[in-house]
Structure 1
Amino acid sequence: MVNGPPPFSDIGKRAKDLLTKDYNYDYKFVLSLPGSTPMGLVATGLTKGQIFLGDVSAQYKSGRTVVDVKVDTYSNVSTKVTVNEVMPSTKAVLSFDVPDHKSGKLDVQYMNPRIAIDSSIGLNPSPVLNLAAAVAHKDILLGCEVGFDTVSASFTKYTAGISFNKPDLSAALILMDKGQTLKASYVHAVDASNNTQVVAEMTHGLATLENSFTIGSAHAIDRYNRIKTRFSDNGKVAMLCQREWRPKSLITVSAEYDTKRSQVAPKWGLALALMP
């Protein structure tokens, strides 16, 4: 497909990733086996208390078609079939779960140098239609997203956003929750030499007049180690330490403490990602 602007979901994504990505409060491991053939395998495991959840994913590529299959602990099978250039500048994605016969969904994505459109519809008797569009001009990305229930003939959501992105900063403003909530975020690269970044995100309820905020940071100690921090107005403090002990193989330790509930033990988690 041709290169085009980022999708609507990328508005505010840079701040969201800094504040949430890689934070994990369970025991998790990921084993990726890309292989030299069109077939690749990924095994994922997650321990939640006394319960172990795991799944195995396989990907097969052939020409313009990519097939992803995932089998989880309960033998549920999720399948996604992607066909690139099904029409000029258009990609189609068909996804469904077995045995859930109502889980089918069709996504159609269109992209040209100025606009990105992503539409999806559920393949079931009561489908919900989602449509998102984003338009880019230089460093500005403007977009909107709507969801429509075809059975009740009502909108399930409508969201609009705008972002300004530079290599050293990113700012975004999103009107969400059917116009009831305004979210603003800002990311600034303080020092490019060690990839130090600071981030702030604030949410304002237009009807309730309630405000909430989260601030965070990311810092690369050296080429192998990095740390992230996060603090929210609800009193929760979180920290993440990550080490790349071999190319694309990571070990991550996360911890979170609720300062307003000192009697509750801190949460922590360990994640291990292996790339042979």
Structure 2
Amino acid sequence: MSSIDVKIPVPKVFLAPIPAFSDIGKTANDIINKDFYHNAAAALEVKLKAPNGVNFTTKGTSPQGDNPISASVEGKKALDKGTLNLDLFAAYIPFDLMYSLPFVIIFNGTPGRLGHSDAFKRVSLKAFLRSTGISITQSWNTADVLMTKVELANTLANGLKAELTNNFSPSKGSKGQKLSLYFQQPQFHTRAFFDLNAQQALTANVDGVIGYEGFLVGGEAGYDVQKAAITRYSASVGYSTAQYNAAILATNNLSIFSALYYQKVNSAVEAGVKASYDVKSSSTVGIEVASKYKIDPLSFMKAKINDRGIASLAYNTKVNTGFTFGIGASFDTQKLNEAGHKIGASFTFEG
């Protein structure tokens, strides 16, 4: 008598990579906060890629009210192993910083005395790269701050990413430096940020998340080196899958508690809810509920409302391969006959 083996397939549960501490509950936060365009009267973003591989991003925002327009221009280049001729856009480059990087820099010409005329000179350089995973980002904004960031991903160790950022104002001098370290493995994700401000005060912030089969536990702490004191601490727990996730966060020295829940209802509908309570200054629980509906592969709509009766609507569509348009509005449902409602639009061009 022969036997028959019957194998019943067991569905695999998809578990996302361990998120960073600030990303616990990110899907719910994105549903509630992202792609609502009423916060700015108009926002413009232009993304271009040069033939040499440099990605340029220009952003401009016209805020609500009488606040001034803000704008920035950014260039980012991912460097490959070998020899690269890189023509950086007009920005001040901290030369001492570049000499400390894991590649050799040869400059065209000798930089002169730093001033407004020198700060915006175009600098051509040749880089002999010793490793891959390196990128350079430079930006300049309307606050007259020039930012240079060097990223090294999986260069020093597998799973380790390091970022060194220098902020400089041609009119006011150094605005500070920041070293950021990210280390991610299958079961944990940890980060460390060391910030040296313009007054040479050093602060450190460290956070970490460990996970097992979708369960997440994380913590964060901030430390002031000059004062030798802990300045902040937070904690969180969560559970995450591809279809839904939930998280509870205790931030601001465990004085603000938030609960977030996200669910992908089906292929077209997503929903998120957030409840928050401030132990020190609030006697009520703040609640926000939001939903996203995918109209077609190129368009979606979003809606949300909070416990104060503020309702927001948004629509986003990709007109063609190079243009995305978004429009949104916010209404106080308890004061519909009064001024104070907001409307805004977003224009994104890619090429």
Q: Same fold (TM over 0.5)?
A: yes
Structure 2 residues not aligned, in runs of 5+: 1-15, 80-131
Match of residue 217 from structure 2:
142
State how far apart, in whole Å, the 1-side matches of 2:322 and 2:264 are. 23
- Aligned CA distance change for structure 1 residues 190 and 64 (closer, same or farther; 3 Å): closer
Contact 2:45 2:349 in 1 (8 A): yes
Match of residue 8 from structure 1:
21
Task: Say if 2:207 is the partner of 1:132.
Answer: yes
Task: Say if 2:32 is the partner of 1:19.
Answer: yes
Larger radius of gyration: 2
Structure 1 residues not aligned, in runs of 5+: none
Contact 1:4 1:111 in 2 (8 A): no
Equivalent residue for 1:92, pick from 138, 162, 175: 162
Matches within 5 A, 1:33-112: 33-48=48-63, 49=65, 51-62=68-79, 63-89=132-158, 90-99=160-169, 100-112=173-185
TM-score by length of 2: 0.73
TM-score by length of 1: 0.92
Match of residue 177 from structure 1:
252
Aligned-partner residue type, residue 16 of structure 1: N
Q: Any idea what SS the aligned residue of 1:80 has?
A: strand
Contact 2:168 2:175 in 1 (8 A): no
State how far apart, in whole Å, the 2-side matches of 1:143 and 1:185 are. 15
- Aligned CA distance change for structure 1 residues 4 and 172 (closer, same or farther; 3 Å): closer
Contact 2:74 2:140 in 1 (8 A): yes
Contact 2:166 2:176 in 1 (8 A): yes
Deviation (angstroms), 1:36: 4.5
* C-alpha RMSD of matched pairs (Å): 1.9
Identity value in percent: 20
Contact 2:203 2:223 in 1 (8 A): yes
Equivalent residue pairs, number: 272
Aligned-partner residue type, residue 72 of structure 1: N
State how far apart, in whole Å, the 1-side matches of 2:30 and 2:263 are. 14
Match of residue 250 from structure 1:
324
The structure whose residues are more often strand, as a share, is: 1
State how far apart, in whole Å, the 2-side matches of 1:167 and 1:86 are. 30
Contact 1:236 1:258 in 2 (8 A): yes
